[in-house]
Amino acid sequence: MAVDLAHSPAVADLARRAGAFTREVVLPVEERLRGAAPTEAVRRELQDAARAAGLFAPHVSAEYGGHGLDMRGRAAVFEEAGYCLLGPLALNIAAPDEGNMHLLEAVATEEQKERYLRPLAAGEIRSCFAMTEPAPGAGSDPRALSTRAERIDGGWRINGHKWFITGADGAGFAICMARTSGHAGDAGGATMFLVDADNPGLKTVRHIETLDESLFGGHIELLFDNCEVPDDAVLGGVDEGFRYAQVRLGPARMTHCMRWLGIARHAQDIAVRRAAERELFGSRLGELGMVQQMIADNEIDIAASRGLILQACWELDAGRSGAQSTAVAKTFCAEAVWRVVDRSLQICGSLGVSGDIPLSRFLREVRPFRIYDGPSETHRWAIAKRVLRQASGAATTTAAPTTTTAPAPAPATPAR
């Protein structure tokens, strides 16, 4: 049976328009800022332009003003928007808002959607996802979650310490993961809560200085200090937070890959132009075999990343877990994007490390991706565990004797 990787005409047109908008409207603003953080006024300027161009929030359903793209459709559009650092912000598809919209649309009640999703999808407010904690709390291992929520009359009281909460500065609300049963290290017992930013129990401790600077609202350390919320602040079911987190985390890892793949393409374009123009040693830079190899390796990494993203997106769109495919894609893409940007900078030499072109900034921005959304080492560990568990199940099935009274056991299901 033939496999058609082409997008529908509607998605292809949306991606084409997103690419043109990113280069013609967003990129000049980014160049004007010259590395300075965008202000709220810049965010609204870019988002107004994207809205006028019919490109705003393409991932949410039409009910909330979007195009209702599935994961494969997002792959095409998000990659084009990711060609520059502010492109995702302009289209309202930047982290963490994009992932929170996906989660709210899938899990929230109708009342919660009206209160939180609708203004978030419209760009009227921003949001954050508060799960990560300082050691020994939740990080690479979310089961280490130590923030606790206890029942009180009419609601819950949350106490805990969070950090690296992207976008928290200026956010209208937080989705907070807190333990409602069990103890740190248990596989279950977490609940998600919607916490308004003006809640007196939600306190900002500090901005964490990081290598990357492009994510709007920074990376913030937060304190939930006797933070009281009503019963209707529970997102989804009590003690079901880890299960609902998978609704968000798998797709969010892929949309990170999509956006950063756009930056890899931008870096490659800069390097190719430089190689075609720069003359030294009696020839153009691009005529040197070593440079040609770096350009070719960049193309290979970009193409392989795109293929892994599409494979994972196809599984997610089909309703599959996608745990293995998203882990594989995230690990490969995080490292491949770094390689592409690094090679591109090397091709450009001293110009690459200068502030005259954006490659040095790209390098700073993409390096943390190998840590955010799960370090590469954690994903490799999980990938190997699934493979070994499946192999163990297959071996057990092969070795088990068959009888006329009971069938041989089926292979074990890979861990989710």
Candidate CATH numbers 1.10.4160.10, 2.60.40.3880, 1.10.540.10, 1.10.3720.10; the one for domain 9-121: 1.10.540.10
Fold of 243-389: Butyryl-CoA Dehydrogenase, subunit A; domain 3 (1.20.140)
What pLDDT shows up at residue 397?
Answer: 66
What pLDDT shows up at residue 281?
Answer: 85
State the maximum Cα–Cα separation within the chain, in Å, rounded to a whole number.
Answer: 81
What pLDDT shows up at residue 35?
Answer: 82
Sign, CA torsion 244/79/311/336:
negative
What pLDDT shows up at residue 3?
Answer: 62
According to DSSP, residue 220 is labeled E
Q: What is the CA radius of gyration of the chain?
A: 23
The CATH 2.40.110.10 domain(s) of the chain lie at 127-241
The CATH 1.20.140.10 domain(s) of the chain lie at 243-389
Q: Are 64 and 57 in contact (CB under 8 A)?
A: yes
- 195-204: long-range contacts at Cβ-Cβ below 8 A with a sequence spacing of 24 or more? 195/130, 195/158, 195/224, 195/227, 195/229, 195/233, 196/172, 197/171, 197/172, 197/173, 199/227, 199/228, 199/229, 200/227, 201/157, 201/158, 201/225, 201/226, 201/227, 201/228, 202/174, 202/227, 204/168, 204/169
What pLDDT shows up at residue 340?
Answer: 98
What pLDDT shows up at residue 400?
Answer: 55
CA 313 – CA 251 distance, rounded (Å): 8
Name the pTM for this structure.
Answer: 0.92
What pLDDT shows up at residue 169?
Answer: 97
Candidate CATH numbers 2.40.110.10, 3.40.50.170, 3.40.1390.30, 1.10.3720.10; the one for domain 127-241: 2.40.110.10
What pLDDT shows up at residue 232?
Answer: 97
* Enclosing H/E stretch for 362: helix 359-366
Per-residue pLDDT of the chain (416 residues; tens, 9 = 90+): 456 778 999 999 999 999 999 999 999 999 999 888 899 999 999 999 999 999 999 999 999 999 999 999 999 999 999 999 999 999 999 999 999 999 999 999 999 999 999 999 999 999 999 999 999 999 989 999 999 999 999 999 999 999 999 999 999 999 999 999 999 999 899 999 999 999 999 999 999 999 998 899 999 999 999 999 999 999 999 999 999 998 998 999 999 999 999 999 999 999 999 999 999 888 999 999 999 999 999 999 999 999 999 999 999 999 999 999 999 999 999 999 999 999 999 999 999 999 999 999 999 999 999 999 999 999 999 999 999 999 988 777 666 554 433 333 333 333 33
10 Å CB burial of residue 40 (0-12, 13-18, 19+) is exposed
The CATH 1.10.540.10 domain(s) of the chain lie at 9-121
Instruction: Locate 29 and state its tokens.
Output: 């603003």
Kind of pairing between the strands at 127-130 and 173-179:
parallel
